[in-house]
Chains A and B, each alone.
Chain A
Amino acid sequence: DAGVIQSPRHEVTEMGQEVTLRCKPISGHNSLFWYRQTMMRGLELLIYFNNNVPIDDSGMPEDRFSAKMPNASFSTLKIQPSEPRDSAVYFCASSYRVEKLFFGSGTQLSVL
C-alpha cells in the first residue's frame, strides 16, 4: 500500500488566493483527519470524517476553511482567501481504528 498520499508537497501562494490541498487515504480506512502544524500551536485537529461524513469541524479556524470528502478515496481542504497566518504544514491522516492513525507526508503551505 502506498500509504496516505497528499498533494502538493509544497505550495507557495500570495495572500488572497485560493488554496486547495488534496488527500488520498489508505484504501479500506473509514476515518480521515486533517491536521495543521506550526511551531507556535503544535498539531491542531481541524476536522475529521467518518465514512465520508464530517463528524467534527470545531477545529476549523474560520469560514475561510472548508473540507470535503466526496468519496472514500479523496478529500480536499480549501482555504479561500488565504492569509499569511495560514502558513503551516497541513497533514492528512486516515485510520480504520480511531486510535491508530496513518499520516501522509504533509503539505508545506507558505502564504506570502
Chain B
Amino acid sequence: LAKTTQPISMDSYEGQEVNITCSHNNIATNDYITWYQQFPSQGPRFIIQGYKTKVTNEVASLFIPADRKSSTLSLPRVSLSDTAVYYCLVADDKLIFGTGTRLQVFP
C-alpha cells in the first residue's frame, strides 16, 4: 500500500513554475521525503530530498510544512525537457514508489 498520494497528471507551459504536491499523512518521525524524476526508457533519477522546511538545489525546491503531512516539489520555469513522471517517496526500510505525477510541458 503506497504511503503517498499525488496527482496523476499535470500540464504546464514552458517558462511557468510548476508545483506538485504530495500527501503523506502517516509519515514517521524519522522519515525523509524524496522526489525522483523518470523520463521514458530510463530509470528514475533522484531530484531532491528534505526533512522539514525548505530545501533548494540547482534543479528544484522542496517545501515541507511543519506537520510534514505533505510536501511540494517546485520546478521553476519549466522547459520541454522537464516532461517526465515525478515520484514522491517517504523513506522507510523499503522504498515503495506510488503512481507518480505525469507532467506534460507544452511549448
Task: Please list the residues of chain A having a beta carbon within 8 angstroms of any beta carbon in chain B.
Answer: 4, 33, 35, 42-43, 45, 48, 55-56, 91, 93, 98-106
Closest chain-A Cβ to B92's Cβ sits at a distance in Å of: 8
User: Can you name 16 A-B residue pairings with CB atoms under 8 Å?
Assistant: A42-B98, A42-B99, A48-B94, A56-B93, A56-B94, A91-B43, A91-B44, A93-B44, A98-B95, A99-B95, A100-B34, A100-B49, A101-B36, A101-B44, A103-B45, A105-B42
- Distance between Cα atoms of A4 and B44 in the complex (Å): 12
- Distance between Cα atoms of A45 and B1 in the complex (Å): 12
Closest partner residue, chain B, to A3 (CB atom): B43
Given contacts A45-B95, A55-B93, contact A101 B100 (CB under 8 A): no
- B interface majority secondary structure: loop
Number of A-B contacts (CB under 8 A): 52
Q: How large is the interface on B (under 10, 10 to 19, 20 to 34, 35 or more residues)?
A: 20 to 34
Beta-carbon contact of B96 and A45 below 8 Å: yes
Q: Which of B74-107 contact A (CB under 8 A)?
A: 87, 89, 91-100
Beta-carbon contact of B91 and A106 below 8 Å: no
